[in-house]
Amino acid sequence: MKGFLNRITLVLSLLLLGFVQPALAQEDVDGRNVFSVNCKSCHLMERNLTGPALDGAYARVQEFYGYSDEETTEWMLAWIRNSQAVIASGDEYANKIFAEWNKVQMNSFISLSDAEILAVIDYIRYWDDETKYPSETPEVAAAPAAGQQTGGGSGLSTNLILLVLVVVLLLIALILARVTNVLGRVASAKEGEKVQEERPFYLNKKFLTIIILIAVGFLGFKAVDGAISLGRQQNYAPEQPIHFSHKLHAGINQIDCKYCHVGAERGKSATIPSMNICMNCHKYVNKGPSAEFKAANGLQGPGDDTSQIAKIYAAVGWDASSQSFDKSKAKPVEWVRIHNLPDHVYFNHAQHVNVGELECQTCHGPVEEMDVMYQYSQLSMGWCVDCHRETEVQFATNGYYEHYYEDYHEAIKNGEIEGVTVEMIGGTECQKCHY
């Protein structure tokens, strides 16, 4: 009897876990983040993109079948994981969607866990609930280095300010020299002394000394500033072989940066997106935005034609008419690199994105507003060091630091410190960034 009760208890426990675990998993998984990385390249919530708008998608499935919440969630779970399998099963609504969208196949997400897909379903269902999903517009951190210019700004350059300062100082020196000379001549005449013949100001020894000192200081400054600025290219915006608008893709279409720049979460380099990633959408999107749409949204480049997308097809050897690839015709796109650090500098994107939990805009600026990509920040040593000195680490709530820097954890609990900066955990040590 006891063994029978134990078995009954075990079965009930497993059943209970079966119901509780998905709910707990959804709490642990950020549905918006999973959606942004896996779905946002093809789907927006409020308007169609490569795939249909997802606002109300949950309710549409529920209304079509008259399903309960549990049945609707189960259907969407199967659909997101492998839509082609659901279509092949003869499911009426799945085939209806497939036909309406010209039989464009949706990607399968068999690599996602149930918890991740359930979190996405939850996000689709409640995405406009500000209490659960507050505004996702990232804030661009202020540049830590004083005097930093942003791209497209109208601020005076350092050289122009310096030139104006030199001219003003030179004029002051000339005026003072002239006043001193006149007062000296007047005093000499009043005392009955012989007044020497006035010489041109440019032959005055004091004036020449001042000019030499200013020239030496100016040339010295320019030499040091030139050496420090060597290799820096803030505001650099080269012409690319394919006109790619971040404003259109990351801004208007809200494609997550990390969907294309896959290395940002995985390693040192964010990487230039492969053309295969472009083809995920442009295999079906073969025409650019209209001239009217471009004018209304401040976009540049040719309108209405397919010239830029045709360059993508040429790069991968895609024949749009036959819907087939010819690898023999594929050729690499010679992108012009914009952000480039010196070889002796180590920077790891994954460390900043995963552990630091920084938004791309913190360093790269408002990318979602850039029709032509340019280097927003200085990326100088002083700029990085200032950021490390001032920026607080996501410390107390970050599992990465859970078993490290125990003294700081204790100090935060005791109220001795409010936060931990990057500098406090060694972020300004030379060997952290230099080999």
Domain residue limits, the chain: 2-126, 158-228
Neighbours of 76 (CB within 10 A): 22
pLDDT of residue 18: 44
412 by Cβ neighbours in 10 Å (0-12 / 13-18 / 19+) ranks as middle
User: Is 90 exceeded by the pLDDT of residue 352?
Assistant: yes
pLDDT of residue 137: 55
Mean residue pLDDT across the chain? 81
pLDDT of residue 20: 40
pLDDT of residue 377: 93
85 by Cβ neighbours in 10 Å (0-12 / 13-18 / 19+) ranks as middle
User: Is 60 exceeded by the pLDDT of residue 156?
Assistant: no
pLDDT of residue 326: 92
Percent of the chain at pLDDT exceeding 90: 28
User: Is 90 exceeded by the pLDDT of residue 160?
Assistant: no
CA dihedral over 206, 207, 213, 217, signed as positive or negative: positive
For the domain made up of 2-126, the CATH class stated in words is mainly alpha
pTM: 0.64
Q: What is the mean pLDDT of residues 361-389?
A: 93
pLDDT of residue 131: 76
pLDDT of residue 7: 44
- pLDDT band at residue 2 using 50, 70 and 90 as cut-offs: very low
pLDDT of residue 241: 93
User: Is 60 exceeded by the pLDDT of residue 333?
Assistant: yes
Which range is least confidently modeled, 63-67, 148-152, 240-244?
Answer: 148-152
Give 391-411 pLDDT, tens digit per residue: 888 888 888 888 888 899 899
Tokens of 182: 């006149």
Give 168-212 pLDDT, tens digit per residue: 887 887 788 778 777 877 777 777 777 666 667 667 777 788 788
Q: What is the mean pLDDT of residues 335-349?
A: 92
Cα–Cα distance between 269 and 2 in angstroms, integer? 60
User: Is 70 exceeded by the pLDDT of residue 61?
Assistant: yes
Which range is least confidently modeled, 88-102, 172-186, 346-360?
Answer: 172-186
Token pair 């015709």 in the structure block, residue? 329
Tokens of 405: 């820097």
User: Is 90 exceeded by the pLDDT of residue 386?
Assistant: yes
pLDDT of residue 157: 63
- pLDDT band at residue 40 using 50, 70 and 90 as cut-offs: confident
Higher pLDDT, 263 or 18: 263
User: Is 80 exceeded by the pLDDT of residue 49?
Assistant: no
Higher pLDDT, 205 or 421: 421
pLDDT of residue 423: 92
What letter represents residue 337's amino acid?
R
Cα–Cα distance between 45 and 56 in angstroms, integer? 9
Q: What is the mean pLDDT of residues 286-296?
A: 86
